[in-house]
């Protein structure tokens, strides 16, 4: 949904250092990392350069900011450390402090000229990383210093997307108070609500909807937040979206509905919820797949049993004539085959080319399934349109164990 989440690890371990750095500057970087104020003062007396950087662009100020050494940062700034110097990734000391939750260091940097909206190479600002990591205090500090709540990164995300993906409620409240665009879309059409629904953050979903997020917003493929929640098995989110007006039968471009994806992924409780809300149980997708067929294909027996008790058509065929029983046999799901037969599946149903489930079983060579089909009345003499009997297919596939059973 979101092309890539920002996971900058900026410091690059500080070592190995650029070989061209003087030993005294290397020591300064390490001392700043470790918070060794006494050694830093000694190194300055020995001529250490506060602006020296390693091959990743990391300065002593970056190193001190990474570990939250406020006293070291204070000294380095007094020595004219470059407050907005960026690493090779484009990260400033402020970005690093925001990433690691060091609010005191972030405040110090901001009060000494740190650029609050300076972005990394992929367009993310300190507010992005604070939002992603749930650092509410730092997010508030950045916003007080005029951080742009609607800054857009290269891939289209904003700080609100980052906070919504992680479910950081407090940060989201701050962003919304500062005018974060709740319905801004990514290139795929998703909004922060989709991200929250995808990850199951029910409190975030509620907050976004109350702030004006469009409940039935569609992505470019037609997916809705409800479909995303159903697909990922987030029952509470699905329930909340339905309470807020989500359309239970709204489908994507290929005709798949929330019930299709819930059944396909075996989310029984969501199937129950959707059916109670009026989901069309025998709705066909564009490829004619029904929720029952998808649940059968993926061996979700509890969902299949539920659908059948609620009115799903056990013998509803696909365009090629295959019924759920054909699908179960082809997939080798013996217990599913037994369930479908118990619920009235036609053991001799034919596909468009004349194959019965027994033909399919003969092709697959599953002894237990073939026995079951025969016990339930599967016809050994049934012929396909090309004149093949189940035993003919078994012979073609060299399934010798089936020969005695299928012999007419």
Question: Are 262 and 271 in contact, with CB atoms under 8 Å apart?
Answer: yes
Please give the DSSP secondary-structure letter assigned to residue 47: T
* CA–CA gap between residue 72 and residue 76 (Å, rounded): 6
Q: pLDDT (tens digit, 9 = 90+) per residue, 15-51? A: 333 335 799 999 999 999 999 999 999 999 999 999 9
Contacts of 342 (CB under 8 A, 6+ apart): none
Give the gyration radius of the chain's Cα atoms: 31
- The token pair that represents 401 in the structure block: 């164990």
Q: Tell me the DSSP string of 141-179.
A: HHHHTT--TT---TTS--HHHHHHHHT-HHHHHHHHHTT
* 338-354 tens-digit pLDDT: 999 999 999 999 999 99
Helix (H, G, I), strand (E, B) or coil at 202: helix
Q: Angle CA(215)–CA(245)–CA(178) in degrees, nearest 5?
A: 40
pLDDT at residue 17, as a whole number = 36
Instruction: Verify cis geometry, omega within 30 degrees of 0, for the bond prior to 16.
Output: yes
pTM recorded for the entire structure: 0.90
Is the CATH number of domain 1-151+158-181+192-208 1.25.40.20? yes
Residue 193, both tokens: 């609500």
In the chain, % of residues over pLDDT 70: 95
Q: Please state, in angstroms and as integers, the Cα–Cα distance from residue 357 to each residue in 198, 246, 287, 340, 352, following that order.
A: 38, 39, 21, 12, 13
Kindly list the distances between the CA atom of residue 225 and the CA atoms of 115, 219, 395, in Å, as whole numbers in the listed order.
36, 9, 50
Enumerate the domain spans of the chain: 1-151+158-181+192-208
């Amino acid at each position: 949904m979101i092309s890539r989440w920002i996971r900058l690890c900026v410091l690059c371990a500080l070592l190995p250092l650029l070989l061209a750095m003087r030993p005294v500057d290397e020591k300064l970087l390490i001392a700043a990392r470790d918070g060794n104020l006494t050694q830093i003062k000694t190194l300055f007396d020995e001529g250490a350069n506060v602006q020296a950087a390693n091959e990743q662009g990391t300065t002593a100020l970056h190193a001190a900011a990474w570990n939250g050494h406020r006293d070291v940062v204070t000294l380095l700034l007094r020595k004219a450390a470059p407050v907005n110097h960026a690493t090779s990734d484009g990260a400033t000391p402020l970005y690093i402090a925001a990433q690691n939750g060091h609010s005191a260091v972030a405040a110090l940097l901001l009060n000494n000229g740190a650029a609050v909206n300076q972005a990394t190479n992929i367009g993310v600002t300190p507010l992005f990383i604070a939002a992603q990591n749930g650092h509410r205090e730092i997010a508030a500090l950045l916003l007080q210093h005029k951080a742009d709540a609607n800054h857009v990164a290269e891939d289209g995300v904003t700080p609100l997307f980052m906070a919504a993906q992680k479910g950081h409620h407090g940060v989201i409240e701050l962003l919304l108070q500062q005018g974060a665009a709740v319905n801004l879309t990514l290139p795929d059409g998703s909004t922060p609500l989709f991200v929250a629904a995808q990850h199951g953050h029910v409190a975030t979903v509620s907050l976004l909807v109350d702030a004006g997020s469009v409940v039935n917003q569609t992505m470019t493929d037609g997916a809705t937040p409800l479909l995303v929640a159903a697909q990922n098995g987030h029952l509470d989110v699905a329930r909340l979206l339905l309470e807020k007006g989500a359309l239970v039968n709204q489908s994507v471009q290929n005709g798949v509905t929330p019930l299709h994806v819930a059944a396909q992924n075996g989310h029984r409780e969501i199937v129950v919820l959707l059916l109670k809300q009026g989901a069309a149980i025998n709705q066909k997708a564009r490829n004619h797949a029904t929720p029952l067929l998808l649940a059968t294909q993926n061996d979700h027996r509890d969902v299949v049993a539920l659908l059948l008790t609620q009115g799903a058509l056990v013998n509803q065929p696909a365009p090629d004539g295959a019924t759920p029983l054909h699908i179960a046999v082809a997939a080798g799901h013996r217990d599913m085959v037994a369930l479908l037969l118990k619920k009235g599946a036609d053991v001799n149903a034919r596909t468009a080319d004349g194959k019965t489930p027994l033909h399919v079983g003969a092709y697959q060579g599953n002894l237990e399934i073939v026995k079951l089909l025969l016990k339930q009345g599967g016809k050994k003499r049934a012929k396909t349109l090309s004149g093949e009997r189940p035993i003919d297919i078994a012979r073609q596939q060299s399934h010798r164990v089936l020969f005695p059973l299928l012999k007419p």
